Amino acid sequence: MISLADAERAAATLLEPAHYDFFAGGADDERTLRSNVDAFDRHRLLPRVLRGVGKRDLGVEVLGQPLSMPVMVAPTAFHRLAHPDGEVGTARAAAASGTVMILSMAATQPVEQVAATGVRLWFQMYVQPDRAFTERLVRRVEAAGCAALVVSVDSPVFGRRLRDLRHDFGDLPAGLACENMRESGTGPPRAVAFDAALDWSVVGWLRGITTLPIVLKGILHPDDARLAVGHGADAVIVSNHGGRQLDGAVASIDALPAVVEAVGGRLPVLLDGGVRRGTDVVTALALGAAAVAVGRPVLWGLTVAGEHGVRQVLELLRDDLDRAMVLCGADRVAALTRDVVHVGRCSW
């Protein structure tokens, strides 16, 4: 495995087709899924030379937490479908790599077990129509030591994923469940619900029940970025859910500059979707992201070799990012400025 593409190819041979397609697929015609990667390919870098970059520091701080590199683990459902190590394996790898894991509400292991690995954990949730349940879940993830709540706001309904329909993939196989949707250790799990009635008041509601930082995941429009600031969010994640929700939504990297401008430095802007190379990370950081997150590549690493495979994926990205930075003449993340990114014709 010498690139993330290798990891995906290997995973494709190991997984049942229905499970591979669940991980790999997007909504409808998968235009946005493809765009996320293609849009990075439309960006080119204008490297600086002779910058004395003999020593590099890839570290960043996000929401007061130091990361060894600006690459986090995006929340993805059902890690035990990929490998028996499950979310605990992913967490151990993220911890060893010195980065944050965002744990999905649809995780197949309990948040307490994942937190026990010592990883720095943020918890992703879909605010449930049953607000009393949502509040109990917030208490639970606080008690487990999660450092932020990541609220996905791009899913008023579930996207229509043709690959899953063709495989008739809906439920987890026997023995696997969304462990954080249980009310007690032995009780049946609730189904993850999506709530199209959610509006901006949900941010104030959450603020009223928790002191954890609130991160809004799934912001693409600059006006929504301004609203996020106005409603007291602590960070936003520019994301189209890996092309799994609104097909036709803009690629994440194309949405980033306007969001960064709208936010105007008032809170950190993160990005996920289509990050596969160190140069993609460089592009996102240069356009103003504080860090990026990766979804599918982590699942491919987990499939191939459990915890060790995720570690390999994260270290491949770190090595790739270090090389991209040094070749761009940047010795630290702050040295990556807008002018190193070139889109379309050279205009200066």
Ligand X SMILES: O=C(O)C(=O)c1ccccc1
Ligand Y SMILES: Cc1cc2nc3c(=O)[nH]c(=O)nc-3n(C[C@H](O)[C@H](O)[C@H](O)COP(=O)(O)O)c2cc1C
Query: Site residues (CB under 6 A) for ligand X?
Result: 77, 106, 192, 241, 244
Q: Residue 104 Cβ, how far from ligand Y at the closest point, in Å?
A: 4
**109 lies in the site for ligand Y, by CB under 6 A:** no
Check: CB of residue 109 under 8 Å from CB of residue 144. Answer: no
- Binding-site size for ligand Y (CB under 6 A) equals 23
Helical residues (DSSP H) of the chain, grouped into ranges: 4-14, 17-24, 31-41, 79-82, 86-96, 111-115, 131-143, 162-167, 201-209, 222-230, 252-263, 278-286, 296-328
Find the binder of ligand Y among 213, 242, 278, 288 (CB under 6 A).
242
**Considering 43, 79, 241, 308, which one is annotated as catalytic?**
241
Cα(296)–Cα(224) distance, integer angstroms: 26
Find the binder of ligand Y among 217, 277, 311, 318 (CB under 6 A).
217
Check: CB of residue 290 under 8 Å from CB of residue 30. Answer: no
- Find all residues with CB under 8 Å of 198, minimum gap 6, and list them: 127, 153, 156
Q: Measuring CA to CA, which residue among 69, 71, 134 is closest to residue 102? A: 71
Residue 241 annotated in active site: yes
What residues from 288 to 317 belong to the interface with ligand Y (CB under 6 A)?
Answer: 294-296
Q: Residue 276 Cβ, how far from ligand Y at the closest point, in Å?
A: 8
For ligand Y, the closer CB: 53 or 198: 198
Q: Residue 10 Cβ, how far from ligand Y at the closest point, in Å?
A: 17
Find the binder of ligand Y among 74, 100, 101, 336 (CB under 6 A).
74
Q: Residue 219 Cβ, how far from ligand Y at the closest point, in Å?
A: 12
Residue count of the chain = 348
Which listed option, ligand X, ligand Y, none, makes contact with residue 288 (CB within 5 to 8 Å by class)?
none
Q: Residue 50, class by beta-carbon neighbours within 10 Å (0-12 exposed, 13-18 middle, 19+ buried)?
A: exposed
Q: Measuring CA to CA, which residue among 185, 173, 268 is closest to residue 219? A: 268
Q: Residue 194 Cβ, how far from ligand Y at the closest point, in Å?
A: 11
Q: Measuring CA to CA, which residue among 122, 99, 82 is closest to residue 318? A: 99
Cα(113)–Cα(344) distance, integer angstroms: 47
Find the binder of ligand Y among 4, 11, 23, 212 (CB under 6 A).
23
Helix (H, G, I), strand (E, B) or coil at 119: coil
Only one of the segments 68-76, 133-141, 170-178, 317-325 lies at the binding site for ligand Y (rule: CB under 6 A); that segment is: 68-76
Find the binder of ligand Y among 70, 268, 274, 278 (CB under 6 A).
274
For ligand X, the closer CB: 99 or 124: 124
Instruction: List beta partners, residue 150.
Output: 124, 215
Residues that bind ligand Y (CB under 6 A): 23, 36, 74-77, 104-106, 124, 152, 217, 239, 241-242, 244, 272-275, 294-296
Please give the positions annotated as active site.
Answer: 241
